[in-house]
Amino acid sequence: LPFPYWPPSVHFGKVVSGQSIVSKYPLKDYERIILERVSDSPFYRKVFYLDRLLQVVKVVLEDQEVVIMNVHLEAFDKGTREKQLNKVIDLFKQYAKTNPTILLGDFNSDPNYEDAVIKKVFSIPNIGNAAYSKNNYELTFDSENPYERLDYIFYTKKSIEYIDGKVLKAFGSASDHLPLEMKFSLKNKE
């Protein structure tokens, strides 16, 4: 245990969460959207609250702009998570009208739970779900001993051809979630 130095203020400060999009291809039009916070939180939770984010970026592949949406939704308040997801779905639908679009990240929602908000994404017409089968899917959280599926990769079926996908287990405790991988190709523009 470290020595508790005085004053206590040296032990506390601004908490910043991190998420990123890393690509070997050039990225453009990056946007960072801070999602709605839990409205009825006590003051101490607001002080330490990690912003929940949606990152949106475009990458040029095979002369097409592919929209990548990376999300991290609220973990503990279902009402807030649902509001956040509604905003994300609206944006996904807008981008999907004109671009191949991939929506991925930590949705903090396991489909086995009653009224799981992730089911809203499952019901979007013409959306694919990588590394996932309704009857047989791998768990992604906690990375040490997985017991929930919280992480997903969704894609527009009309413009993206799904080849393969899986949960990657070789990364151990690099994160508290196991990463997902999706292999795909772009369909020809219509």
Q: Give the least confident one: 42-51, 60-69, 169-178.
A: 42-51
Domain boundaries in the chain? Answer: 25-186
pLDDT at 171: 74
Two tokens at 19? 């998420």
| 81 contacts: CB under 8 Å, gap ≥ 6 | 73, 74, 75, 108, 109, 117
pLDDT level of residue 1 (50, 70, 90 thresholds): very low
How long, in residues, is the chain? 190
Rounded CA Rg of the chain: 18
pLDDT(57) > 70: yes
Three-state DSSP class for 9? Answer: helix
pLDDT at 95: 98
Two tokens at 119? 């089911």
Q: CA-based angle 59:64:69, to the nearest 5? A: 40
pLDDT(154) > 90: yes
For the chain, what percent of residues have pLDDT higher than 70?
A: 84
pLDDT tens-digit map of 113-152: 888 999 999 999 999 999 888 777 888 888 788 889 899 9
The one-letter amino acid at 128: G
pLDDT(184) > 50: yes
**Of residues 164, 167, 35, the one with CA closest to residue 91:** 35
pLDDT tens-digit map of 29-49: 999 998 888 877 666 665 656
Distances (CA, A) of 152 to 11, 122, 177: 35, 11, 11
Q: What is the mean pLDDT of the chain?
A: 85
Cβ 80 vs Cβ 34: under 8 Å: no
Fold of domain 25-186: Deoxyribonuclease I; Chain A (3.60.10)
pLDDT(13) > 60: no
Two tokens at 3? 């020595």
pLDDT at 2: 46
